[in-house]
Amino acid sequence: LLAKTYTQRAEAHTNAAAVRLLRLMDAKKTNLSVAADVTTKKELLHLADALGPYICVFKTHIDIVTDFDQDLVDQLEKLAEKHSFLIFEDRKFADIGNTVKLQYSAGVYRIASWSHITNAHPLPGEGIVKGLAEVGMPLSRGLLLLAEMSSQGSLATGSYTLEAVRMAQRNRDFVFGFIGQQRMDVPEDFVYLTPGVGLEAKGDGLGQQYRTPEQVILDSGCDVIIVGRGIYGSGDIAANAQRYREAGWNAYLKRTGQL
């Protein structure tokens, strides 16, 4: 699996979002996702347009945007088309199936209507996947389960992580991968998106822990690096994004024997 290209691996997936993601990564030569943790519509759209050419996935926390409106969604969708990236609302659902179904489809944000990918904690049990799937599957959306977290002292370890993997194995039509820190030793081809990536900082004083793109892609066998403050924290955002893109892509080329 590790030696296969993203495009080759797309064949093993039935989920539409997963297939699109794997193909566009090779087409755009990027396994970089930006974590756009900004609090205004203007900043969010600026990041999407300026970083669009370098990324495969634009990750949002839509509930931190103070002036959210439908026009933001419309513009974000246009930018996703223009630059060909997928939108991932990092909602981290964590409630019973019936509640997450409503949180995903309704409310102010109507996440399912615009976000190609979202994620959920396996904590409540399998009902969370079933509830989200009722909304997401008809819209060709994809779900990631949080198998592990990057933060210090995370409780998502050991048997919890293994149960997350089993839950994903039972729901492969909708769950195509994980938020995690390392590839799990299972026969199914899951896609791993990994936060906690930084080339300089080791942490942020609030529990975040950083590893390098090479550690994530090459040593741990993950697929997508998620970078936030490493890109927009200081300096030129496009230059920073290019650095992370190159580091992530070279690690992938090494892993697949293309470099």
Residues with a known catalytic role: 92
3-state DSSP call for residue 224? strand
E-strand stretches of the chain: 32-36, 57-60, 86-93, 117-120, 142-146, 175-179, 191-194, 224-227
Query: Residue 52 interacts with ligand UP6 (CB under 6 A)?
Result: no
CB of 80 to ligand UP6, least distance (A): 18
Give the one residue of 191, 226, 247, 251 binding ligand UP6; rule: CB under 6 A.
Answer: 226
Q: Are 76 and 87 in contact (CB under 8 A)?
A: yes
Distance CA 147, CA 50 (A): 31
Query: Residue 213 interacts with ligand UP6 (CB under 6 A)?
Result: no
CB of 13 to ligand UP6, least distance (A): 22
CB closer to ligand UP6 out of 213 and 228: 228
CB closer to ligand UP6 out of 4 and 61: 61
Sign, CA dihedral 104-107-112-117, equals negative
Give the one residue of 195, 241, 248, 255 binding ligand UP6; rule: CB under 6 A.
Answer: 195
Give the one residue of 26, 37, 49, 246 binding ligand UP6; rule: CB under 6 A.
Answer: 37
Closest CA to 165 of 146, 181, 150: 146
Sign, CA dihedral 155-137-216-167, equals positive
Q: Which of residues 112-171 bind ligand UP6 (CB under 6 A)?
A: 149-151
CB of 63 to ligand UP6, least distance (A): 11
Size of the chain, expressed as the number of residues it contains: 259
Binding-site ranges for ligand UP6 (CB under 6 A): 35, 37, 61, 90, 149-151, 179, 195-196, 208, 226-230
